[in-house]
Structure 1
Amino acid sequence: MNYDVIVVGSGPGGYVAAIRASQLGLKVAVVEKENIGGICLNWGCIPTKSLLKSAQAFEYAKHAADYGISIEGDVKPDLAAMVKRSRGVADGMSKGVQFLFKKNKIEQLLGFGKLTAKNTVEVTDDSGKKKAYTAKHIILATGARSRELPNLTQDGEKIIGYRKALVLDKQPESMVVVGSGAIGSEFAYFYQSIGTQVTLVEFMPTLVPNEDEEVAKQLERSFKKMKMKVLTSSSVEKVDTSGKKCKVTVKTKKGEELIEADVVLSAVGITPNTEGIGLEELGVETDKGRVKVDDFYRTNIEGVYAIGDILAGPALAHVASAEGIVCVEKIAGLNPEPVDYGNIPGCTYTSPEVSSVGMTEAKAKDAGYEIKVGKFPYSASGKASAAGQKDGFVKLIFDAKYGELLGAHMIGGNVTEMVAEMVVAKKLEITGHELIKSIHPHPTMSEAIMEAAAAAYDEVIHL
């Protein structure tokens, strides 16, 4: 064998798995056909957060007078400069992963990886040259790409996916964003905040459909306050790109509506990258295009594993990383605890931010729990008022019988940082009363967590 472990794909699942495997004394190689760090570092999580930070800085500059600061003249966004900064941040992170590979003596095999036989990966480089490598364990971490609908075929110019949205050379005057999950909502917020007129179209009755309904409604109010047009329970039927502008036919609750826009951004989910990687040839089992695995990411073929977005679980960078670590620790003979998919935090980096973990109120009721619900609004938070971020709230859901925290749902400033406390609380099975009695610092946004817990038990002070 050339290696103990070959990882196919260097995203947040693949590179983390590779580094952990090397730490455990295994000889490791990573196959990557494009950028080290995968989509997350290069075309997803990191560059989008850079653009969103630029949008936030622009918002602050526009409203500087609200903070007692006078700025003379117009404050203007420069999309090209924002994109340049974003690409620089992404490049820096990718170089950081390459440094970690060198530090951990991980070999990089540049090219497209495919399973060709038991314990064998064939790598085809840019010139078409093929070379086979062997390993006792092969971890597939090939990730996913933007999903395309038949009536919304991306041409890279008028109908685009998230990658193109990250590097537009000219700011569009108008844009239709199809899909309001994290990707769609973040781009809708970014472009609306810098002056593009955005129409956000969502098929489900609420925005960010996986989030608690009250959170979704607050996000919709915040978006509408920005003058964004929001259409829920709506679908894009067709897009005519023959003219200068896109003519978008949207089926709404009130009938069909024709919207003209410079660009249509399709953000209707992702498709796993499982084609052409040898799954069929080796007989690796899949279900609806996703690889089937056990609790330790073993497929039905001995020595072949799969993690990340090619599985049926949540397509999140931190989930892929956790899966990669569990996978290689099991390979190395340790006894890792399986990933708890009921305690996975989700974050949407709009303004206000959205974060959550555990059950929504509706799902807790559907599961048969008798619940206690506590809510604390940011309008009652001293820190939120001082920061000028009064939109939002913290909502906690407890099992009424035992006091167990079932779910936490937040919208407002800094909530993507605050949700980690809730993940730890759920992990440790903290009760509502224990949360109330855990002293939180004042003034902070995080006090809203303690106050929301107190509200659930009629002990809230500041409401």
Structure 2
Amino acid sequence: AETLLVAVGRGPNSAGHGYEEAGIRMERGFVLADDRLRTNLDNVFAVGDLVPGLQLAHRGFQHGILVAEEIAGLDPRPIDEAGIPRVTYCKPEVASVGLTEAQAKEKFGGADTYTYALSGNGKSQILKTAGGVKLVKAPDGPVVGVTMVGERVGELVGEAQLIYNWEAYPEDVAPLVHAHPTQTEALGEAFLALAGKPLHVHG
């Protein structure tokens, strides 16, 4: 790469709304909340970009659903922040869900990884895109992270999200058949390889 663009500086729009005056606990402009998005004040919740963490629209949508269900007494399951898919809309796209290799090593004391190059994927050849799919697996455990780089990989993150959130093992996913030619085959082949049954191996 010849040029690197670093986009930083986003923050919560919380100034001047009277939160601190009302007694709501804040930190660096963010409203502090528990895993059910409750603040320190009774019947006051915080959602979306006001809450520390990823500033993503779909995270905010899910926060709203959780709070609505909490108020309705439906006892919703708290949101696993790592299970929220992340997509960087650049060229090529970057999409991920779950833990990075470094995070997995810190959490589990180690990690198994496999990277499948899109050069072995027919649809990616048609699209003339390069990149890859990286799987991160806990030692003797399930897949805990998926990262993909390539054209349109944001469209693949839904399958990766299910795999992560259902704590699937490579052996669980490897037998599933993926349509040909599609980029989802890259995910399928990565899982085949991590399960010890590689189909195509390309550099």
* TM-score (norm: length of structure 2): 0.93
| 1:313-341, Cα deviation, whole Å (9 max, x unpaired) | 21111111111110111112211111111
* Alignment coverage as a number of residue pairs: 201
CA contact (8 A) 2:100 2:145 kept: yes
CA contact (8 A) 2:108 2:138 kept: no
Letter in 1 for 2:97: V
Q: How far apart are 1:378 and its partner, in Å?
A: 0.9
2:183 maps to 445
* Alpha-carbon separation, structure 2, partners of 1:399 and 1:454: 16
Q: How far apart are 1:457 and its partner, in Å?
A: 3.2
**Moved >6 Å (runs of 4+):** none
1:318 maps to 58
1:293 maps to 33
Q: How far apart are 1:400 and its partner, in Å?
A: 2.9
Aligned residue among 411, 426, 434 for 2:149? 411
* Alpha-carbon separation, structure 1, partners of 2:100 and 2:17: 37
User: Residue 124 of structure 2 aligns to a residue in which SS?
Assistant: helix
Q: How far apart are 1:293 and its partner, in Å?
A: 1.2
* Alpha-carbon separation, structure 1, partners of 2:159 and 2:8: 30
2:134 maps to 395
Q: How far apart are 1:458 and its partner, in Å?
A: 3.1
Q: Which has the larger radius of gyration?
A: 1
* Alpha-carbon separation, structure 1, partners of 2:175 and 2:100: 24
Letter in 1 for 2:125: S
CA contact (8 A) 1:379 1:385 kept: yes
* Alpha-carbon separation, structure 2, partners of 1:230 and 1:299: 38
Q: How does 1:330-345 map to 2 (within 5 A)?
A: 330-345=70-85
* Alpha-carbon separation, structure 1, partners of 2:161 and 2:118: 21
User: Residue 21 of structure 2 aligns to a residue in which SS?
Assistant: helix
Q: How does 1:36-435 map to 2 (within 5 A)?
A: 224=1, 228-230=2-4, 267-389=7-129, 391-402=130-141, 404-435=142-173
RMSD: 1.6
User: Residue 336 of structure 1 aligns to a residue in which SS?
Assistant: coil
Q: How far apart are 1:370 and its partner, in Å?
A: 3.4
| 1:69-126, Cα deviation, whole Å (9 max, x unpaired) | xxxxxxxxxxxxxxxxxxxxxxxxxxxxxxxxxxxxxxxxxxxxxxxxxxxxxxxxxx
CA contact (8 A) 1:375 1:456 kept: no
| 1:203-244, Cα deviation, whole Å (9 max, x unpaired) | xxxxxxxxxxxxxxxxxxxxx2xxx4238xxxxxxxxxxxxx
Q: How far apart are 1:280 and its partner, in Å?
A: 2.1
- Identity within the alignment, %: 38
* TM-score (norm: length of structure 1): 0.42
